[in-house]
Structure 1
Amino acid sequence: MNILDKLHDIVETEMENQMLYNKYMLQITNPEVRQLFTQLRDEHMHIPFQKGDNLIISDIEFPSNVYPWLNLESKGIEVRFVKSVNGTVPLADLENLIDERTRLISLSFVEAGNGFKNNVEEVSSLCQKSEIYFVVDAIQGLGVHEIDVKKLNIDFLVSGFFKWLFGPDGIGFMYCSERVLSEMVSPFVSWTSMEDKFNYSTYNFTLSPTSRRFEAGNLNFSGIRGVIKGLDLIEEIGIDVIHGRAMQLATHLREQSNRSPKVTCASNFSKDNQSQIVLLQCENDDMCFERLKQHNIIVNKRNGLRISPHFYNTKEELDTLLEIISE
């Protein structure tokens, strides 16, 4: 299932439902679309951990994929960190951390700090073999790289829209596979969690059989409008075109930076692990960052200078950036 296509379907369907439900009592019924849970305020799910269980993440995850898991330590859940090697997440080291009490592995599709694209297919196979959940934080890859949640047997995929999907802040979604949906327990429920959520007069506590059971109230429909426009743009241009262009620019940046004696590229990964994000390191990152700001060039300073070219950027712009930080 192409996640971007289904996202486009569900946000448009949900918007239409909200505008028309008072008159027609509409609900999402598409069997493929209904697996996508679009909760725009909170994401409430509860994996049935038991004291003594453990989960695995890497030591280069963005904090949003760290602190929610660390919060479980107070309940006796161990969080195990696989140590990165030269900015990569070794599959063998990941496997060595798994034991009979491991419940899940949670990794980024693309690591936010250096652009390392994890071996999602191999990690998924490892999770299946060990009969544990696979959670993917897709925010730094979705919109540039295709990802098929069914083919890859991903149990949970979460993302916001304000990165590569051209959407607004404060809106996100979670995909939950049918295979594990029945095992999840929601610690919070709302009227929108019910199967017959538009029946206001008869109280029938029957949770939705879909991932909509995790919704905690009305959705951010103004935000959904912004999401639709972003997804329309991606559909108009084509994900293949966006991917090809963004990767071409990132490759150019890596190649040119490798020729500069004053710049070190920290994203020289194997081809399968490369993304559109490139981390460059200078002798003085702070000074280079300020130089770029003076030229109205905005990058992220995080263990170096994180450069994130998109399809609308040019090679000339990247060459100018390199010239400035190489002075």
Structure 2
Amino acid sequence: MGRLRAFGVGVASLSVAALSAACMSGGEQDDKAAAARAKASNMAAAASEKKAETEIAAKAKANELGQIPVIMYHRIIKNPPPGDDRTPEQFRAELERLAKENYVPITAAEYVTGKIGIPAGKHPVVLTFDDSSPSQLSLDGMGNPKPDTAVGILMDVAKKHPGFRPVATFYVIRDLFGMAKPEEQTQVLEWLKDHGFDIGNHTRDHLNLLGKSEKEVEEQIGAGQKLVTSLIKFSPVTLALPYGNQPRDKKWALKGSGAGASYDFGGVFLAGYTPAPSPYTKDFDPVGIPRIRSKEKVGDCVKFCSTAWLDWLNANASDRFTSDGNASTVAFPKFKAPFVAAPFTSRALPY
């Protein structure tokens, strides 16, 4: 009798275990089915989102593999001598043209890192200023830029053209906007940083690096880096070569250490010549990024300065960078796909 009871209990226990296992199996199946439905739903949502993004890119005629003008400025003064300086009127006129032709300023740091977030149908332009002249930025007693300086003019144009970002990159040297005291130098650099402007390295002494030894090159660039980092919490992301001259080994300008500071730039800029390639293309070369001199069509500038190149980009719109409005994608006509650089293939949005 005892054995029968034990047997009965054993059978009952087995039945409960089997029922429990069956229930667990059914629960697992339900979970798997739910996961499959969620996955299918997510895939459908992603496909729908990509379709919408593609339609927006096509409507904007986006080409984020196109060329970008990087314009080089020096002093902005009333009576400039022959060369690279511009009058306030000439500078304002060029900014007005850029705004009317749907350009949006971005910084050199944003350009080299591929962080180009501008509205659909707009074109990026990089405004760069060499040599940290007082004509580029001088602050009044209340900490506001004087209206006849480059920054004052840029901010005024931006007020008149909503969406035209008042940003630029300033390549500084030891003559920091004419400020002699470290406190004054800190003030002006902090003002730039706090207002969204970019600060770049132009070496400390503006020496021609052509023919210099590796040590001399690294000392000058390292000293330029230290010039900024010793005054504010900011490390320049890009370098503009003095006179546009590259050292014997181009890579010395991109990465190294000297004068107690190290540097590892996202890009090194030359002095002028052509529009720059998109950072998303295989043509992008961080050790030698071209810039365009700001100048009307005179002399060699008939073909190779800002007025001529802006005319050319207008006439060849399919070669110009046009945004799709989405900073997380790289949109372009499908046939341009072979030109996408490997780091950006996962963001590619051909249409």
TM-score when normalising by structure 2? 0.27
Higher relative contact order (CA 8 A, sep 6+): 2
TM-score when normalising by structure 1? 0.28
Structure richer in helix, relative to its length:
2
